[in-house]
Amino acid sequence: MDLSEFTITVLYIVGISAEGMTGALAAGRHKMDLFGVIFIALVTAIGGGSIRDVVLGHYPLTWVKHPEYVLLICFCALVATRIPKVVTRLEHLFLTLDAIGLVVFSILGAQVAMKLDYGFIIAVSAAVITGVFGGILRDILCMRIPLVFQKEIYAGVAIIAGAIYYISAIWLEIHILICTLVTLFIGVLMRLLAIKFQWSLPIFSYNEKG
């Protein structure tokens, strides 16, 4: 495992832990039992990567190869149920960890597509699927319109992160560690600025009667 792989793995573990904790809180808002909480934490944290792997036929799935990640997320979900107020009070920390997770997921998605020799569009698609599908599945299970369709450019960050990573690694042939760090820096910065300044995409609201 080289340095860029090590960095990505550490940040991936941070990312799934944070996603698991925030997923657990989302479940708590819908009065679910402990199984529901853990299930939604797992879906939030590893659902996006699972869908990417199934769509690209990339087996075994990450968590099937590394079942220890399943245990880690269960543990984080249980911790979150014990200290929900701490998690909420640390909102800024969790938003930052979530931003890191989003960009790391996007990089991993692009890497899988590149490993399978797919081109730019599929690499960016894989980045988006990995980055946002966990949150979409979480929201479907909690019966609400997925937040990523309505809030500050979340998916946009995944698209840009996937594009930067692909372009720098494949077209510019830059060293993979530098691609990773540059993508992380730009992606996380963009996401944090989007939250701070409430950047959002135009909303398309349409009602045929109106």
Q: Is residue 108 near a copy of itself by the rule CB under 8 A?
A: no
What does the angle CA 47 – CA 190 – CA 199 come to, to the nearest 5 degrees?
95
Residue in 55, 86, 93, 193 binding a copy of itself, rule: CB under 8 A? 55
Q: Is residue 32 near a copy of itself by the rule CB under 8 A?
A: yes
Q: Is residue 171 near a copy of itself by the rule CB under 8 A?
A: no
Q: Please state, in angstroms and as integers, the Cα–Cα distance from residue 119 to each residue in 32, 112, 179, following that order.
A: 42, 11, 17
**Of the two residues 66 and 182, which places its CB atom closer to a copy of itself in the complex?**
66
Q: Is residue 198 near a copy of itself by the rule CB under 8 A?
A: no
Cα distance between residue 171 and residue 119, in whole Å: 11
Cα distance between residue 91 and residue 83, in whole Å: 13
DSSP letter, residue 142: T
**Of the two residues 1 and 143, which places its CB atom closer to a copy of itself in the complex?**
143
**Of the two residues 1 and 85, which places its CB atom closer to a copy of itself in the complex?**
85
Q: Both tokens of residue 134? A: 């966990």
Comparing C-alpha atoms, which of 155, 145, 165, 147 is closest to residue 191? 155
Q: Both tokens of residue 193? A: 């600025």
Residue in 18, 19, 20, 39 binding a copy of itself, rule: CB under 8 A? 39
Q: Is residue 194 near a copy of itself by the rule CB under 8 A?
A: no
Burial class (CB in 10 A: 0-12, 13-18, 19+), 203: exposed
Q: Is residue 167 near a copy of itself by the rule CB under 8 A?
A: no
Residue in 156, 174, 177, 192 binding a copy of itself, rule: CB under 8 A? 156
Residue numbers of the site for a copy of itself (CB under 8 A)? Answer: 24-25, 27-37, 39-40, 50, 54-57, 59-61, 64, 67-68, 70-71, 81, 84-85, 88, 118-119, 121-122, 125, 136, 140-146, 148-151, 153-156, 200-208
